[in-house]
A = this chain, B = another copy of it.
């Protein structure tokens, strides 16, 4: 195992004393202990909060080795001095590492170094009290084998239970710059309010009321003001899986010719009003007490962790969901306005009611007005949307695997391109799936006619036929408003996420370059997943440092301590590296020319290569039903069903590791034998290797507090079998959209056209000995329409190349 901690602060001795005193490890007894050894025993004593008697504690110490031949109880009863070897041999055990498996008992310091666990500087001699305290402090801030700090482990044993009753003036409590679990999760208050938004998306003549679920520490009733982690999740009140399934669009349909439209960006950019000028509801009175609670919210475990640490958590599913008004609009400005209504309420500038009938107003009187948004996918998307409004009170967003423009989620360069694994899904399908008012049959019956009409309108406007960027999609492009962002932005994305593709975050990252806010990005090797319970990286600690700073104003140096860019390595497990940038503009790119089967550095080749798109029916049916079969076959160098349906080019093996950082540009001169056509490209790593598994492996269960909720600790591990290749990145283009996604051009059958476009961005380490490959094809069984048409494509080699941004 390798430990990677980015959120651990370095503390000087004065801070060590202050903070150890604050969390009661350092007290009179420890300060005045006659020997260093006695002081160490007193520190250890407090690390066994579940042991009530001294004799039991003494016996527990007999489980630990202080030296390869003496247990800790015997050692501390002797007058042998504490040395680095003794302290760190015990530390490895306290941190749950195992002798023989993780370390050699006679060489604890070697293991500490190898596992990347921090140590204080020390020579081989006996430690003094100052060294002991420094080392203990550092140990508390160090991760155990199970992906949490040692202090978090003690927390899960009940260390902070006595702190539950501290007066609110002493709460929250921070250690090493991060908020600690001094809030009693058994006493959390759960309440529902209905925020009055600024929109009337169901056009019933009333501003839409939004159900908001709040969980806050009991201490807020005693005057503590806490910040809020707000997760806007359209899934939160349930989803209509069957209705969504039924609404899926057929994808085994032909690609067709589009009429040239001479469209311009200006023509499709229309400012849509996002708010309605309706009178707000009258206020009959005001109260501090909600009149509705809830049982088990659909929670994000990262939020759960912070509920024990002095943050309120707020969930809202927004317009068009169960117990709220409105309809689902899939990312339009109304949805953004409704999302920020909750923030405005938390920040004191918008009204909420206790229910839908009594007009009793209720303020977020327990909130300090500061809000961070959290969540992945659609949830992170709404965080991004909210940030682009510059709404007051929103101090930061932590957007994970978020969409920054909906066109890029369902389309690409004039083509329908489905998110991976969801062929046939589109904006209307997602709207139907998340329209959880359907779950309240009587409510649904009332809204059904309007909703159906809106869905028909959406189906027309999203225009599956052309696949073009138009006014519908422009209204759902948050990147147009990046300059409005006032909050700090922490982005997280999987480099193997082909649901929300890496380009979504890369374009946000690029757009934020000139915006005067702090931005950080973490790129992992996962698909569309959360990384808050990964063993090898202290993600939760980073977020703790970040929001302790952003929402509580703790001067913990978070912005300087956290690297701007962290990337998980794709070759070596458990390796996360800090970089100063990703996909920097104006990178030098290495050019590879396409020749017969090769990617060559030296020169252009002559000639034309062709491939077909049609498949025998049985093969087609198999791939259509199991697009994983197609994915595997497409990249296989061997002759097979698909050999004539693709062109495959490869470099010679690389002499040393190379990192591709950013977007590969494709320049290709291509022709279709019809008046329409599409091209797809995959950049491929060819070389036998045991690669990281696509899905993380679950290691064990993990507590998020003392007798509180749990999560599953996970990690990417190396697959037991080697594979011959791996797709690095991909891209697709409609040959009638050679200039951009909105302007449809004519395509003459047989005529060659130059095409230039970027594949999805990446950060990929290509191992020495491997070859870089490019596969050119048309139908993508996982993403495009699948017409199985008699189409042929040709590539003119003389003017075809790729530009690769090696780091």
Contacts and interface: CB of A to CB of B under 8 A. Distances in A.
Contacts of A173: none
A445 interface: yes
B58 A357 contact: yes
Contact of A52 (B64, B99, B292): B292
Contacts of A59: 355-357
B706 A442 contact: no
B53 A354 contact: yes
A481 interface: no
A65 B157 contact: no
Nearest to A58: B357
A438 B703 CA distance: 23
A98 B706 CA distance: 38
Contact of A295 (B93, B100, B156, B443): B156
Contacts of A63: 323, 440-443
Given A441-B99, A442-B62, A706 B55 contact: no
Interface string A6-31: 00000000000000000000000000
Interface residues of A, number: 54
Interface in A61-103: 62-65, 69, 71-72, 93, 98-101
Contacts of A72: 442
Nearest to A442: B71
A158 interface: yes
A442 B158 contact: no
A565 to B, nearest CB: 35
B358 A53 contact: yes
Given A93-B441, A355-B59, A443-B62, A158 B50 contact: no
A158 B190 CA distance: 12
B295 A357 contact: no
A186 interface: yes
A671 B99 CA distance: 51
Interface string A700-723: 010100110010000000000100
Contacts of A58: 357
Nearest to A443: B63
A441 B64 contact: yes
Interface string A767-788: 0000000000000000000000
A51 interface: yes
Contacts of A439: 98
Interface in A674-726: 701, 703, 706-707, 710, 721
Contact of A442 (B65, B98, B243): B65
Nearest to A626: B721
A294 interface: yes
Contacts of A438: 98
A56 interface: yes
Given A156-B296, A440-B64, A291 B56 contact: yes
10 contacts: A52-B291, A52-B292, A53-B354, A56-B291, A56-B292, A63-B442, A99-B441, A100-B243, A105-B441, A295-B707
Interface of A: 50-53, 55-56, 58-59, 62-65, 69, 71-72, 93, 98-101, 105, 156-158, 186, 242-243, 290-296, 323, 354-358, 438-443, 445, 625, 701, 703, 706-707, 710, 721
